[in-house]
Structure 1
């Protein structure tokens, strides 16, 4: 169903990961944005039109699916957004890359900037990117000086590969726009179906907000943690691989990332 034809009831049904009087954690489908900007419709507007006021705490891209958090009242919104800004929120993504050969653990330390037409890019020449023992970086002398740059770090664990695709659990240490998508593409491991780097792709973008954990100040600071299950289309590039087995492997990968 096209995003413009979806109703709030269609999206909400079966997608609630956590809900109380203060917050709603939803498993967002791909193809619908979180908040307006240039999009024809979005979750906040669809909810409002259906009589439910929600305040987006963070965003994930329109082509990205998975866990997205809303405050139900404005008085709770500030505390939740501060948790994202202070990086006390736990978050991890599932990623299917269109490549193999990544290490079991990796770290991408590449600054970002806005390129032509506002597109996010690495703030350094591509040929200056180096990899050493699973960490990608650029020398400080190569970072562009004529544009505003943003230090950006993504950590990942490779939990499966078939020689053509790899499944990663990725943890964005920083939360820049398009960070995981740009980081992986620029080190030569683009996300399957990502229209930023493959406009001819016929598959969905295989980037999924899989794990989210936050503190509920209105409930004595209780830590709320949930996983969002990807849909069948996410797993299609993995062929005959068993999604349940891949999720078990992803759980183990996430545990290694959260140890640090």
Structure 2
């Protein structure tokens, strides 16, 4: 399978000779795979600029991923030097990755830490789960708003970056993400998949050593849903 450059518009938040920060829309897959051979973020990036080659032909430039239906910020490496630096920062847990999530139920604590290992589910191969022999996974959460005991808006900061980490961790504590087709309940608010947005991203620039921090607003459907909940529960 050849990965072809495609002229797909990109929402570029920052760009220089070494790194790119893009705001990925909901519904876009990050890199090609058997089920998604084209129309991915990588196809769009290849059309736009040269990319690092460390991760091979299917994942050029990709240092970290977010799920298809998760929106928000990703850092992209344009060359291998930048890629190694950004990857090391992820390993060292020195960068900033903050997500906003809308979850079911009322989280009583104002903040907390979920520390539970994640691996492929023993019951369903399509899912990740909390498994004894899984990889270490840590999520810090903070409550931003509560909606009538029905829903809670939270900020989640990742210490590790496991597949589906926030989705699995929030389900594990009894508060699955609203709209999540894989881990959430059937009776949920309809959106474009789970209400999860990578809002804030920070890292040290591989060449200048400058600390860079970026933020991006919630997608329109996410903002509208929160406003409807505020109106329904009369939250000022």
Partner of 2:3: none
- Please state how far the C-alpha of 1:118 moved relative to its aligned partner: 4.9
Alpha carbons 2:130, 2:172 under 8 Å: kept: yes
Which of 209, 224, 228 is equivalent to 1:236? 224
Query: Which residue of the other structure, out of 144, 148, 152, is the alignment partner of 1:166?
Result: 152
What SS does the aligned partner of 2:154 have? strand
Q: TM-score, normalised by structure 1?
A: 0.74
Residues 244-259 of structure 1 correspond to what in structure 2 (within 5 A)? Answer: none
Match of 1:177 among 144, 151, 163: 163
**Of 128, 140, 154, which aligns to 2:139?**
154
Displacement of 1:236 after TM fit? Answer: 3.2
Bigger helix share: 1
Q: Residues 112 and 120 of structure 1 are in contact (CA less than 8 Å); yes or no, is this contact kept in structure 2?
A: yes
Q: Secondary structure at the match of 2:69?
A: coil
- 1:241 deviates by 3.6
- After superposition, residues 19-168 of structure 1 pair within 5 angstroms as 19-37=15-33, 38-41=35-38, 42-48=40-46, 50-54=47-51, 55-115=61-121, 116-123=124-131, 144=132, 148-163=133-148, 164-168=150-154
Q: CA deviation at 1:240?
A: 5.5
* SS of residue matched to 2:93: coil
2-structure distance, mates of 1:51, 1:174:
30
Alpha-carbon distance, 1:218 to partner: 0.9
For the residue of structure 2 that corresponds to 1:233, the secondary structure is helix
Q: CA deviation at 1:119?
A: 2.0
Residues 147, 229 of structure 2: 8 Å contact kept: no
Give CA deviations for 1:144-170 in whole Å, capped at 9, x if unaligned: 4xxx32221111110101122211110
Q: Is the 8 A contact 1:8 1:43 kept in 2?
A: no
- Give structure 1 stretches of 5+ with no counterpart: 1-6, 124-143, 247-260
Instruction: Please name the residue that 1:226 is paired with.
Output: 214
| Residue segments in structure 2 that go unaligned for 5+ positions in a row | 1-5, 52-60
Match of 2:58 in 1: none
**SS of residue matched to 2:44:** helix
Q: TM-score, normalised by structure 2?
A: 0.81
